[in-house]
Structure 1
Amino acid sequence: MNADNLKDQYLAVRRHSVKICEPLETEDYVPQPVPFVSPPKWHLAHSTWFFETFILNPFGKGYQVFSEDFSFLFNSYYNNVGERVLRTDRGNITRPTIVTVYAYRKYVDEHMITLLDTLNDPAALKLIELGLHHEQQHQELLLTDIKYILGHNPLFPVYSPDSNLVKDVNKETGSVQIAEGIYEVGFQGDGFCFDNELGRHKVYLNAFEISKALVTNAEYIEFMEAGGYQDFNLWLDEGWSWINENKITAPMYWHKINGAWHYYTLAGLQRIAPEAILSHVSFFEAAAFAQWKDMRLPTESEWEIASEQFHWGKRWEWTHSAYLPYPDFVKASGAVGEYNGKFMINTMVLRGSSVATPEGHSRKTYRNFFHTHERWQYTGIRLVK
């Protein structure tokens, strides 16, 4: 990718982050109701800090940082860069204001465009491309964090009337048969990928059958009404502890009102559509549902091999694979090496993409990863037997 192409992509990606935030009121930019949710203002500043820190500081001759405080405020987890605000304290950053953060974005964008007019350093161009995909990741987090913030407001406010992102239905039924054999998984080609997708390698798979359709709300309600949340035999031990300690009895955002199930969507509180694809479930819930159906979740290799034979992209799909390095994975030196490698522990892989994933940011080798109890992303279930 050359500088001219990168400039167009840079401007498009940066505009999209702002567009996501257009429906917000000033007060919506600041809350952090739980540690795993970051305020929208922080996302806007952090994604800008990435370009300032990794591109403008080393490659922009004579560049002056917008504020000496911002590296401390908006660094996420890069120990190589220096000290930072604790993640749990991001909601306490009432200053700088959102007006200042947008001024920061404008300042960095102007310097980035000037730099791209003359930049021909391959290493810098590669870092900019990484930065754009990094911002796209934060665009998805923006949507899901905004939903958590508004969805836990007792008034269930509307983000946008046209933003019910959980109304999609399956386009296919039936299943796909995959034969026993040796297959190759992992990224190959000339396009962009993250380092955790590299190390294409062979895997042996037993024969299996995978559903073309994702689990629907109606199917999950059947599980709930059959006592799924009360039967310890269905749950992994940690999952059973989790639902009891946290009094979990339904997917995130579900509320039973006057005997009928409703869920919060970005378009407000709505009656659940039974035929719509289930969303916002944890790995624990996915595994328990699979057990109840006498089936299981796919491994990430099974999912990747079968993915060309069914529709995907509406929900991040839980797999029963731990997030581990591929063979020959090499952790990059310095701060960039902190992007993926140090998180390869105690999380499970999700595959596909979701309705919140930016256009052009998904591919079948993409390896997303979250902790087993997390469900504020648009997560769903595909079953295997």
Structure 2
Amino acid sequence: MTGLTEAADPLHGLSQDAVRDHAAQALTRARSRSTTLTDAVDDNDLVRQHSKLMSPLVWDLAHIGSQEELWLVRDVGGLEPMRPELDDLYDAFQHKRADRPSLPLLGPAEARAYVGQVRAKAFDVLERVPLEGRRLTETAFAFGMITQHEQQHDETMLATHQLRRGEPVLHAPAAPGRRTGKLPAEVLVPAGPFVMGTSVEPWALDNERPAHEVHVAAFHIDTTPVTNGAYLEFLESGGYEQRRWWSDAGWTYRTAHQITAPRFWRREPGGWWRTRFGVDEPVPADQPVVHVSFYEAEAYAAWAGKRLPTEAEWEKAARFDPAGGQSRRYPWGNEDPTPEHANLGQRHLSPAAAGAYPAGASPLGVHQLIGDVWEWTSSDFGGYPGFVAFPYREYSEVFFGPEYKVLRGGSFGTDAAAIRGTFRNWDYPIRRQIFAGFRCARDGAPDAAETR
């Protein structure tokens, strides 16, 4: 690569004991969140399927334990299987979500006991296994992989809570309001190469690797994600009824399912309202829109005279520091996220207002690229040049292809352990139950940008 660099490995130079402590803390934080999400409801709610799009919460809980047993207890630890009869039952590729309630799943008490027993053995393994000599154990990679897996299922369980009917059971402080003055509506990202992906981030997953140089033409990108207020302009202008804004696939899906607004929105005599984790409230105009599909994001962008950014454009806006030519770990730098940088970790139960995290802005002045809402990009999901599946094809490779669109940046429901500037998420373009929004981009040379 031509003099461009990426940020250094954050665990580089740490002793094995320090890496063990880091891994143990990450695992503990993930388990605390899993406990919060499952203890918030009674056993009837745990075993109920709240939507055919999602598993019963008790399936997610036991699946977390099953994966931990497979990788940390059996593979890394070399121990005998604890519950081999559960392997097929909790294999996500063997059973569709809609079918899982009919399986002979562990009950709530048995599932809790199982994941506790697995965790005790996993901590024993972490204490004794050398963190070197195998790619799975270098810098505790396997423990980081399992931490991220649990946090990803925690976000899935949070989405299940959003689909659940009944009184609110999750509570959190309100997300912060705007902390900036007027921001430019968009930012120019100059043409040129940057380092995309990573070869050094210790817990990066296979689809983030390897680092490679990508040339990106000059483009403008929205300073913040598209807000509810901006999206309402599209909606109120008849955007959902006008075929010209929609792709063929998007229009077919919209009409077949009679979609007329973001999921969980409804029109009332006094305006638009939404349901958020059991709470009914007016749609807040200043927060990023959430629960929109790729097709809705694509249609809005066309209506606005723009487009969705490519994945490479999104990552350059998020990571590239033009002053030194380095690709940072995060927009603000190389240090891990704090509550001043981004809305992460279920700290709040909604996106924060546009302009709420000035400390998290990129060197070019793009805000809220990490946290708040996953952001749809126009890119299909695929491997980078030199991609190698590790440690198993089913994490990434089996999903490569045009059926899936890439999302970036994480949401308010994503934990800091499961997000970074290189992290890649993917889903079907029809998905609306996930915590997804978007921002727009457009081609072009610099010109005067309006403020908002």
Which TM-score applies when normalising by structure 2?
Answer: 0.77
How far residue 219 of structure 1 moved from its aligned partner, in angstroms, is: 1.3
Secondary structure of the 2:128 match is coil
Structure 1 residue aligned with 2:57: 40
* Conservation of the 8 A alpha-carbon contact between 2:206 and 2:387: yes
How far residue 59 of structure 1 moved from its aligned partner, in angstroms, is: 4.4
Structure 2 residue aligned with 1:341: 397
Distance in 1 of aligned mates of 2:20 and 2:191:
45
The range that moved more, 88-97 or 233-242, is 88-97
Residues 276, 245 of structure 1: alpha-carbon distance in 2 compared, 3 angstrom cutoff: same
| 1:61-140 equivalences in 2 (<5 Å) | 63-65=80-82, 67-77=83-93, 84-93=94-103, 95-120=105-130, 122=132, 123-124=136-137, 125-140=140-155
Equivalent of 1:369 in 426, 430, 433: 426
How far residue 113 of structure 1 moved from its aligned partner, in angstroms, is: 1.9
Distance in 1 of aligned mates of 2:408 and 2:275:
24
Equivalent of 1:273 in 284, 290, 296: 284
* Conservation of the 8 A alpha-carbon contact between 2:382 and 2:400: yes
| 1:295-306 equivalences in 2 (<5 Å) | 295-306=306-317
* Conservation of the 8 A alpha-carbon contact between 1:169 and 1:277: no
Secondary structure of the 1:269 match is strand
How far residue 36 of structure 1 moved from its aligned partner, in angstroms, is: 3.0
* Conservation of the 8 A alpha-carbon contact between 1:3 and 1:120: no
1:119 counterpart letter in structure 2: V
Q: Are residues 1:293 and 2:304 paired?
A: yes
Identity score, percent: 29
How far residue 217 of structure 1 moved from its aligned partner, in angstroms, is: 1.0
1:55 counterpart letter in structure 2: L
Secondary structure of the 1:117 match is helix
* Conservation of the 8 A alpha-carbon contact between 1:26 and 1:98: yes
Structure 1 residue aligned with 2:388: 330
Map Cα deviations across residues 112-149 of structure 1 (whole Å, 9 max, x no partner).
2222222225334432221111111111111112212x
Distance in 1 of aligned mates of 2:179 and 2:394:
37
Equivalent of 1:53 in 67, 70, 86: 70
1:315 counterpart letter in structure 2: V
Q: Could you say which structure has the higher helix fraction?
A: 1
| 1:313-324 equivalences in 2 (<5 Å) | 313-324=371-382
Q: Are residues 1:142 and 2:157 paired?
A: yes
Structure 1 residue aligned with 2:34: 17
* Conservation of the 8 A alpha-carbon contact between 1:170 and 1:277: no
RMSD: 2.2
Equivalent of 1:212 in 217, 220, 223: 223
Map Cα deviations across residues 168-193 of structure 1 (whole Å, 9 max, x no partner).
66856212111122232112434321
How far residue 99 of structure 1 moved from its aligned partner, in angstroms, is: 0.8
1:354 counterpart letter in structure 2: S
Structure 2 residue aligned with 1:202: 213
Structure 2 residue aligned with 1:80: none
| 1:115-264 equivalences in 2 (<5 Å) | 115-120=125-130, 122=132, 123-124=136-137, 125-148=140-163, 150=164, 153=165, 156-162=166-172, 173-174=183-184, 175-264=186-275
How far residue 20 of structure 1 moved from its aligned partner, in angstroms, is: 2.5
Map Cα deviations across residues 357-376 of structure 1 (whole Å, 9 max, x no partner).
01332211111111111021
* Conservation of the 8 A alpha-carbon contact between 2:148 and 2:417: no
Residue segments in structure 1 that go unaligned for 5+ positions in a row: 78-83
Distance in 1 of aligned mates of 2:201 and 2:422:
14
Residue segments in structure 2 that go unaligned for 5+ positions in a row: 1-15, 319-361, 443-452
Secondary structure of the 1:360 match is helix
Secondary structure of the 2:385 match is coil
Distance in 2 of aligned mates of 1:301 and 1:86:
32
Residues 62, 371 of structure 1: alpha-carbon distance in 2 compared, 3 angstrom cutoff: closer
1:279 counterpart letter in structure 2: V
How far residue 355 of structure 1 moved from its aligned partner, in angstroms, is: 0.3
2:153 counterpart letter in structure 1: H
* Conservation of the 8 A alpha-carbon contact between 2:62 and 2:106: no
2:249 counterpart letter in structure 1: E
* Conservation of the 8 A alpha-carbon contact between 1:170 and 1:213: no
* Conservation of the 8 A alpha-carbon contact between 1:321 and 1:349: yes
Residues 332, 248 of structure 1: alpha-carbon distance in 2 compared, 3 angstrom cutoff: same
Map Cα deviations across residues 49-84 of structure 1 (whole Å, 9 max, x no partner).
01111221234455351x34321221212xxxxxx4
Distance in 1 of aligned mates of 2:103 and 2:174:
30
The range that moved more, 351-360 or 241-250, is 351-360
Structure 1 residue aligned with 2:322: none
Distance in 2 of aligned mates of 1:147 and 1:186:
32
Residues 169, 143 of structure 1: alpha-carbon distance in 2 compared, 3 angstrom cutoff: farther
How many pairs align? Answer: 370
Q: Are residues 1:352 and 2:369 paired?
A: no
